[in-house]
Structure 1
Amino acid sequence: MNREDIAFFKSRQGYRRIFEGIREKYRSLGRIGGVIKLTDLTDEEKEILSNHFKRDYSKNKSANIDVSAFEKSLKQTRFENYSLIEILEEYFGEKLTTKKEDIDAYNKEKQDFFEQLQLAGTGRRCAQWLDSIKQEKAVGMKAINQRYDRDKNALKKDILLVCDAIDNLPVYKGEKVRLPVFASRITLNPHGFDLNTDCGNLLKWALCTIMGLDDVRSSEEVAELYYRAGILLDEISNYVTLSGLIAYRGSKTDEVFEAAYYSNEVLQVPLLHLSKIDSVKSPLGKVYVVENPGVFTTLLDTSAFLPLVCTYGQPKLSSLVLLDLLYREGTEIYYSGDFDPEGLSIADRLYKRYKECFHFWRYTVDDYKKAQSNEILSDRRLNILKSIEAFSLREIVEEMSRVKKAGYQELIIDELISDLSSISCFKKV
């Protein structure tokens, strides 16, 4: 199509909406045809339509345009040697395609993109993650697809960085490394894997995928995920409070734990210190875990060298790491918490984690009745009870759903003390 002819259409603004409508109709139908509708016609559009269809459009506010008839009208002009498709392609400067063709081309390009990345991961630790992305099964797949549409080059760069991270996770060397240090090693930037950045989210989803987890969202779940990979997030403010336990580094007793034990002192251990511990033992082969600090200190007043742990509500990563170490030694874990939906949820979570070594401590309906307060539980909180799975908690769940009142550990403190009164605590390990 010569320059003068295409310039004719481009110089007349009235053709713009007509051609755009025909192009969209072609994309939908896959051929020239159908009807398009224009509203709020301009004077120039009215003039063009009048000339093409040989009727007066000057008073029309809108028009239904038969595309095939419009194409035929071109045969009565100097453009008779051009098809409407040729005119549209020259006008828009691109090949006219259908929606199906565009989708097929998009899918083929996207498939090639991820196949190339998959090939780059052959024989590497990151191969599992890349295979999951290729199969659209990776955690965070929706966001990965959105990033592909937004900026596939930036996505490719981040995926390759995360692949290097997966190949070199500290856990493979038995190390614990802080996130900024690990990020510096891989990306040369301490903020390269910061949480809630594009690349940081990609690393989190990759870790979830290779560890067989769904997406983790709470700060504690994220901290535990990274810890399993050998990456430390917050190892100072994340601490656990305990007493009566002995820790070891290799075959040697940890001096901090040892000093606290023989001094009969409470010990607050940050994750930083726990990450250097190889094993933890209870002299009694048992450990008593409570939810509330007031209960923890009251119990300590009654018995020296008591193997006791306080979670301060929902267990932090430091509490779980400590209990994991005790569990590894076959320690019997006794847990007592509040009688509310959140408290039962904690008990249920710990039960599922330490099943054969876990014991519900004072979790009967009678205990619940003694611990009962006047606090009415909302329907929103009661809804949490639906997720409780432990059979041992079933009667309490039913009773709490009926009564709709919370109960607290502090109200059964005498019973807890009585349970511990027969326990002999020895200094010798």
Structure 2
Amino acid sequence: MDARLQRLLGGEALAPLRQRLRRHFERHDDGHAGAVLQLAQLDAAEHAALAQLMGRPSRPARSARVDVAAIDAALQAAGIAASLRAALEQLDGPITSRSAQQTAHAAAWATVTGAPGLHPMLRDWLQASQATALLKRLARQDTASATALLAQADAVLQRLPVRGMPRAQLAATVLGNAHALDAGRPVASLVLAVWRQAGPADEADDEADPERSRDTWARAGVLVNELARPALVLNLPGFGTPGEPAYLSLRQLVRNPPRWNVASLAVSVCENPNLLAIAADQLGAGCAPLVCTDGMPAAAQRTLLGQLVQAGARLQVHADFDWPGLRIANHVLRSWPAQAWRMGADDYLAAARTAPHAGRDLPDAGAVATWDAALAPAMQSCGLAIAEEALAERLLQDLRCG
């Protein structure tokens, strides 16, 4: 390097100025860099260096008009460097144009996401606009890490669906690490995203919901906390003792799905275990088939309802007359072919006339009833939350067989 160049533009004090000049060349290809720059907020040393480069007298100023072509010519004439760009590269290393970097970056990611031989579900998922964004985030923008993650996700997908395999066993068998598919792990996030795309339309509403993830794994035959929140049922044909409530775990439903004999049969769905207990006490074996969601359906309940619908059952759903109850009913109606059961505005108003309430107990924050546009306004107007148990007499009339 010419010592004169070091004196003209080198040193720590002029590093910020060099960076500003380098950014100009990064934004332009070699053939389009001969511009005139207007630089502001210069300190005295930076202004003096630019003046010397352009052969002008130095004077106190905070800005300067920089003619790149004139500097190129001056550096060449003095035998210091071939151009300003060449001088900057001698001082601080090569300058790469941003457009070239972007092109290379896009090409590298296209190679990653277009790798041949990927599982069809993974390949389809990668066509979605949000897929590459998720992959880049999980791989921390590193293409090598992304390639490794896709290979691991592909290996897992090649094994799915399974029949009642614990998630830890799947992870250990395929990836050599029993925790590789735990919640929040990158490979697990990819596999779940792929299966969600192929699942029900509302499955991705809350991807961080552990119950929703359990449900997605369950659709692939993978068990996660398979004994948690079992489904409570009464008088489902072919299961349990007639007249006695029974539980079905996710483990049972996935590993050994019952052969449901429910074609064209009405199966009622309620929110509260107490209502099912009342039905068992008062109707016993004479109660029509009843399934309890116990709040918002978890993986076991969703798996059971899906199996019943596939077997030909006709679902009808009831829940509390409060905002969570409306959300539960909305979820069931959105997820499976089902009808609302005594959940209209008229049903609510009839119940409100006789409900024992000391005052308004329904908060203002509401929900919409997708099956009856008049229901939510009626509830908002009355301001009364009515529990399902308070409606047991009416509901048991419908559940009585014969």
CA distance in structure 1 between the partners assigned to 2:147 and 2:253 by the alignment? 37
Q: Is the 8 A contact 1:240 1:311 kept in 2?
A: yes
Q: Secondary structure at the match of 1:35?
A: strand
Aligned to 1:127: 120
Aligned to 1:206: 194
Amino acid in the other structure paired with 2:307: L
2:400 is aligned with 1:400:
no
Structure 1: segments with no counterpart, 5+ residues:
248-256, 425-429
Aligned to 1:104: 103
Aligned to 1:156: 147
CA distance in structure 1 between the partners assigned to 2:339 and 2:101 by the alignment? 60
The residue correspondences of 1:316-331 to structure 2 (distance < 5 A) are: 316-331=298-313
CA distance in structure 1 between the partners assigned to 2:50 and 2:308 by the alignment? 84
Q: 1:14 to 1:153 in 2, by over 3 A?
A: same
Q: Is the 8 A contact 1:371 1:409 kept in 2?
A: no
Q: Post-superposition shift, 1:184?
A: 0.9
Q: Post-superposition shift, 1:27?
A: 2.7
2:266 is aligned with 1:289:
no
* Aligned residue among 54, 57, 65 for 2:56: 54
CA distance in structure 1 between the partners assigned to 2:171 and 2:316 by the alignment? 39
Aligned to 2:210: 219
Aligned to 1:232: 223
* Aligned residue among 185, 188, 209 for 1:197: 185
Q: Post-superposition shift, 1:66?
A: 0.9
1:71-90 deviations in whole A, cap 9, x for unaligned? 444356441x5222221222
Aligned to 1:389: 370
CA distance in structure 2 between the partners assigned to 1:51 and 1:418 by the alignment? 98
Aligned to 2:396: 417
Structure 2: segments with no counterpart, 5+ residues:
none
Moved more, 268-277 or 322-331: 322-331
Aligned to 2:159: 168
Q: Post-superposition shift, 1:236?
A: 0.9
Q: 1:337 to 1:210 in 2, by over 3 A?
A: closer
TM-score scaled by structure 1?
Answer: 0.79
Q: 1:129 to 1:138 in 2, by over 3 A?
A: farther
2:39 is aligned with 1:20:
no
Q: Secondary structure at the match of 1:160?
A: helix
Amino acid in the other structure paired with 2:401: I
Aligned to 1:89: 89
1:94-126 deviations in whole A, cap 9, x for unaligned? 1x34332332222223223333x2x132xxxx1
Aligned to 1:375: 361
Q: 1:212 to 1:107 in 2, by over 3 A?
A: farther
Amino acid in the other structure paired with 2:279: L
Q: 1:120 to 1:74 in 2, by over 3 A?
A: same
Q: Secondary structure at the match of 1:191?
A: coil
Q: Secondary structure at the match of 2:247?
A: strand
Q: Secondary structure at the match of 1:334?
A: strand
Q: Is the 8 A contact 2:51 2:57 kept in 1?
A: yes
Aligned to 1:310: 292
CA distance in structure 2 between the partners assigned to 1:309 and 1:193 by the alignment? 31
Aligned to 1:74: 75
Q: Secondary structure at the match of 1:280?
A: coil
Q: Secondary structure at the match of 2:141?
A: helix
Q: Secondary structure at the match of 1:163?
A: helix
Aligned to 1:252: none
- The sequence identity of aligned pairs, in percent, is 18
Q: Secondary structure at the match of 2:385?
A: strand
Q: Post-superposition shift, 1:353?
A: 3.8
Q: Post-superposition shift, 1:8?
A: 5.2
Q: Secondary structure at the match of 2:144?
A: helix
Aligned to 2:258: 278
CA distance in structure 1 between the partners assigned to 2:398 and 2:41 by the alignment? 83
CA distance in structure 1 between the partners assigned to 2:257 and 2:43 by the alignment? 78
CA distance in structure 2 between the partners assigned to 1:164 and 1:284 by the alignment? 40
Q: Post-superposition shift, 1:139?
A: 5.2
Q: Post-superposition shift, 1:188?
A: 0.5
TM-score scaled by structure 2?
Answer: 0.84
CA distance in structure 2 between the partners assigned to 1:33 and 1:367 by the alignment? 76
Q: 1:191 to 1:414 in 2, by over 3 A?
A: same
Q: Secondary structure at the match of 2:373?
A: helix
Q: 1:47 to 1:313 in 2, by over 3 A?
A: same
1:223-269 deviations in whole A, cap 9, x for unaligned? 2211111111121113111222344xxxxxxxxx44xx15x432222
Aligned to 1:33: 35
The residue correspondences of 1:329-340 to structure 2 (distance < 5 A) are: 329-340=311-322
1:313-350 deviations in whole A, cap 9, x for unaligned? 11122122222333334334332211223322322332
CA distance in structure 1 between the partners assigned to 2:324 and 2:269 by the alignment? 16
CA distance in structure 2 between the partners assigned to 1:128 and 1:389 by the alignment? 32
Q: Secondary structure at the match of 2:297?
A: coil
Q: Is the 8 A contact 1:129 1:138 kept in 2?
A: no
CA distance in structure 1 between the partners assigned to 2:292 and 2:345 by the alignment? 23
